Amino acid sequence: MGQGQIFIGTCGFSYSDWKGVFYPESINQSNMLSYYAAEFPAVELDFTYYAMPNPKNIAAMAKKTPDKFIFAVKAHKSMTHERTFTPAEDRKNFQSFTLAMEPLLAAGKLGCVLVQFPWGFKYTPENKSYLEFAREELGDLPAVIEFRNIEWVKEEIFIKLEQLNFGFCCVDEPKLKGLFPPLAKRTSDIGYLRFHGRNAAKWWKNDQPWERYDYQYAKNELEEWVLKILGLKNQTQKIFVLFNNHHDAQAVINARMFRKLLGEIG
């Protein structure tokens, strides 16, 4: 397989609480992406989960980044969390989303689509079939599946993902009952790791959604993943290591730490 390239970055980039920590205080939101892309080689777009993207705004983002910069793009919630369960309607949502990816494809900047399912998406025959539906509707787009429910930790599922050419999204999250463990698995030429933080106290009970991801990793916690990522590097073409602990730019701090750890070994 050769040596895959590792892309370290963050989940999202346009956070106001990053001003004064990562961004200059005076920065305009429209300049954040180009500033971010001057340091990091990739980003995960998360706004695409909340609002269906369109080709125009995706094309504009592609133009603000260097030639070799790449995007991971989170699937819209209508494709994962808020499905209609009517195939024709679900198909329309996939079509809208895949159309919006065309400017990134044309620019050679689409790393993959992240299809992240909620904890309530459990291991059932219907949901297994939906994985096949999703693959069919995404066509040839590179894509990665993130499960939240531990029920999916089955060898048959890893085999299924490989058959469907879906990458597997490794996760680092609190060690709580029912959540996914920190597994490193290769199911396609794309490797993917999301660091969600280990804020167990706020994972299920929080006043604001960001509180779940309010966590800063210590060096020894990041070190747990270094050898796993280097192992995946030998089995894939590209690997995304993306930090979702975005409150107060902790994601930036930890992305830099992880980059340094890999540099010390590699």
- How many structural domains compose the chain? 1
Range of the domain at 133: 5-265
The structure tokens listed for 114 are 């992240």
**Residue among 75, 22, 15, 13 nearest 50 (CA):** 75
CATH (domain of 115): 3.20.20.410
Q: What is the C-alpha separation between 191 and 169, in angstroms, rounded? A: 7
Q: What is the C-alpha separation between 224 and 222, in angstroms, rounded? A: 5
Chain segment 146-181, per-residue pLDDT in tens = 999 999 999 999 999 999 999 999 999 988 888 888
Chain segment 190-221, per-residue pLDDT in tens = 999 999 999 878 787 888 877 888 899 999 99
First to last CA, the chain: 18
Q: What confidence score (pLDDT) does residue 1 get?
A: 43
CB count in 10 Å sphere of residue 205? 8
∠ Cα 227 44 148 (to 5°): 70
The structure tokens listed for 218 are 């210590």
Chain segment 29-71, per-residue pLDDT in tens = 999 999 999 999 999 999 999 999 999 999 999 999 999 999 9
**Residue among 185, 157, 169 nearest 111 (CA):** 169
Chain segment 73-130, per-residue pLDDT in tens = 999 999 999 999 999 999 999 999 999 999 999 999 999 999 999 999 999 999 999 9
